[in-house]
Structures are given as structure tokens and as C-alpha cells.
Amino acid sequence: MRIALFVTCVNDLMFPDTGKAVVTVLERLGHQVEFPLDQTCCGQMHANSGYRAETLPLVDNFVRTFSAYDAIVAPSASCVAMVRESYPRLAPSPALESVASRTFELSEFLVDRLGVTDVGARFPHRVTYHPTCHGLRMLRLGDRPRQLLEAVEGLTLSPLSGAEECCGFGGTFALKNPGVSGAMLADKCAAVCDTGAEYLAAADNSCLTHIGGGLSRSSAPVTPIHYAQILASR
């Protein structure tokens, strides 16, 4: 099985450790990972802001870059949702649908394709998990990330109240409606702090940047972390 890592543009620039963590976990499980350098951005921000014409070249680039692989694995629920749910609406073609059907969010790939929940990680900390909207309601990740976290040695998972509520990020929404976004953020940060967790884990670094920025602004003692980095820890 040829596995390609789709790291996503946000992770490439801002969170390289998340990409490294995916490589670590998959190699630990005995798989070889490739990183096709032609990959760039999935175009989610363009598409969700209404810039269809500007999105299409990025769709083409994704399909070209990844069509040779059996599985494309990404540490971002919203980018995978973009590829699997929105691409077929934007530019339907057999080649695109084939690539889209082979694109997985990390927890889907581990739990469904590899049949693994214990990836041999150790993380002796109290963690709470925020299920990001596109993972929850577009990919229907369900409890897959939780299954993976619960199998981590030493990890205590604290339930997050109002977990399924949006954090208020919403891509350009955070800039177009900063007040509403900030009000949603304040409630999410309060719920996170109430858990008493040291770490806030999620499947999307974009949402984590938003929540983490709110936590940092209020000097809250909670560190945002992509759950892949927890799975890579030992």
C-alpha cells in the first residue's frame, strides 16, 4: 500500500510537528510514508469564501499530485472534508472521485483501514478533546479520535461540556465577524478551562490556533495540541 501524507498548507508552515507526528505514528506501525512535494493547499478557504474559479486549479493540483497513491492521509478533518465532500460538487470527474474516496483523516485511516486503536503511545497528562465541526458533522469521525486517545498509556481524558458546539473559528468568519467569533470563543475557552486539563487536543490545527489564541490571551494554563502529536509521544 502506497501511503501519501497530505500535510495541509497550515501544518506545512505553522505546525510541522503535526506532520512529523503522522510520519512517526505510521512508521511505528510498520508503514512507509511518502510526501509528494507537489502538494500545496486544498483550497478550502477559497471555496468556502465563494471563490470557485480560484479553487479549481488547486483541486486539479491535488488530484494530479495524489492520484498514484492507495491512501492519502491528512491530519486535518476540515481539509479532508473539503476533498471528500466539496471537491465532487465543485468539479465532478471519475479521477477526482477516485482520489477523494482514498483520502482519509488520520483517525479514519488508523481505526478503519489499519484496524488499530493502540498505537503504542505514552502521554502521562490530563487531556480534553474538542471534536471539530467538519470532523464531527461532515466526516462523521464519531468516537474514533477518542478511541485512539483512550488507548494512550498514562493519558486521562476529561470530558468537555458543550463539546459539539462550534468554537467560532469558521475560516474567514473569524475576520468578517470578529465579535461573534470572539463570543463563541469565550464560551469554548471557559468550557476547556473547566475540565482542568493540561492539554486541549483536536483534529484541526486551524481551530486549535483560534482556541489556543484565546487561551493564550487569558493566560489559561492549557496547551493546544493536535492529537497526532499525542499519538506520536512515548
Say how far apart CA 199 and CA 84 lie, in whole Å. 29
Nearer to another protein, 1 or 37 (CB): 37
Question: Residue 214, interface with another protein (CB under 8 A)?
Answer: yes
| Residue 220 in grid coordinates | 489559561
Question: Residue 58, interface with another protein (CB under 8 A)?
Answer: yes
Distance in Å, CB of 101 to another protein, minimum: 19
Terminus-to-terminus CA distance in the chain, angstroms?
A: 26
Q: Binder to another protein among 32, 161, 180, 234 (CB under 8 A)?
A: 180
Q: Binder to another protein among 3, 26, 39, 108 (CB under 8 A)?
A: 39
Question: Residue 40, interface with another protein (CB under 8 A)?
Answer: yes
Distance in Å, CB of 8 to another protein, minimum: 9
DSSP-assigned letters across all residues of 56-119: HHHHHHHHHHHTT-SEEEES-HHHHHIIIIIHHHHS--HHHHHHHHTEEEHHHIIIIIS--S--
Q: Binder to another protein among 171, 190, 191, 193 (CB under 8 A)?
A: 171
Question: Residue 2, interface with another protein (CB under 8 A)?
Answer: no
Say how far apart CA 231 and CA 208 lie, in whole Å. 17
Question: Residue 68, interface with another protein (CB under 8 A)?
Answer: no
Q: Which of 3, 2, 25, 4 is nearest to 226 (CA)?
A: 25
Question: Residue 220, interface with another protein (CB under 8 A)?
Answer: no
- How does DSSP classify residue 221? S
Dihedral (C-alpha) 55, 212, 131, 6: value to the nearest 10 degrees? Answer: 40
Nearer to another protein, 19 or 145 (CB): 19
Say how far apart CA 230 and CA 216 lie, in whole Å. 20
Q: Binder to another protein among 158, 182, 191, 193 (CB under 8 A)?
A: 182
Which chain residues interact with another protein by CB under 8 A? Answer: 7, 9, 11-14, 16-17, 19-20, 35, 37-41, 43, 45-52, 54-55, 57-58, 60-61, 86, 89, 133-134, 136-138, 164-166, 168-186, 209-210, 212-214, 216-217
